[in-house]
Amino acid sequence: MISKQICQQVLLLGTVLLGATLVWAQQAEEETTLLTITGNLIDRLDSVDENDTADSVLASYYALLPETTRAQLAELRQNMDSRSEDYQVAFRSGDTAEMNETLDDLSFYWASMRTVHAQEFTEAAIADITAAYYKLYRFLRSN
């Protein structure tokens, strides 16, 4: 037969374990960010302000990137420019199939650019860069 003292000890141990588990679970819910590394990321530039043109903002940030990354972003932007023109032609002609295909391409290019931005810049810098792209490509605001 189990003694009363052993039952109390098991109950106490269970209560302590349950309490520790609840504290751990609560802390896990509060901390949703698993990893943030900003040591090597380019931060917001003080020289950039809201009156600057979109192109000058982008040039200021992109000048700080390695050449290969700049070339990758330049190619993506060139593709965006080209497909934006294609979209305008498709829109004017009422070609919905071409419009949808073009929007898919534009979404892909923008997602690729955002991925590069996330790898190279802090959130504050990304906000400046994104605002510049919103000035250049109004359709990005709806994505």
Strand ranges for the chain from DSSP E: none
Residue 137 has pLDDT above 70, yes or no: yes
Query: Which pLDDT score, from 0 to 100, does residue 141 have?
Result: 79
The residue whose two tokens read 């931005």 is 117
* Interhelix angle 96-120/67-93, nearest 10 degrees: 160
* 103 vs 143: CA distance, rounded Å: 10
Query: Which pLDDT score, from 0 to 100, does residue 82 have?
Result: 93
Residue length of the chain: 143
Amino acid at 139: F
60, 48 contact by CB (below 8 A): yes
Task: Please give the average per-residue pLDDT across 46-69, as a whole number.
Answer: 93
Residue 67 has pLDDT above 50, yes or no: yes
Residue 35 has pLDDT above 50, yes or no: no
Task: Please give the average per-residue pLDDT across 111-134, as a whole number.
Answer: 96
Instruction: Report which secondary-structure segment, H or E, holds 2.
Output: none
CA 114 to chain CA centroid, nearest Å: 6
Residue 10 has pLDDT above 90, yes or no: no
pLDDT category, 20, cuts 50, 70, 90? low
pLDDT category, 98, cuts 50, 70, 90? very high
The residue whose two tokens read 């993506």 is 76
Q: What percent of the chain has pLDDT over 90?
A: 60
Q: What percent of the chain has pLDDT over 70?
A: 71
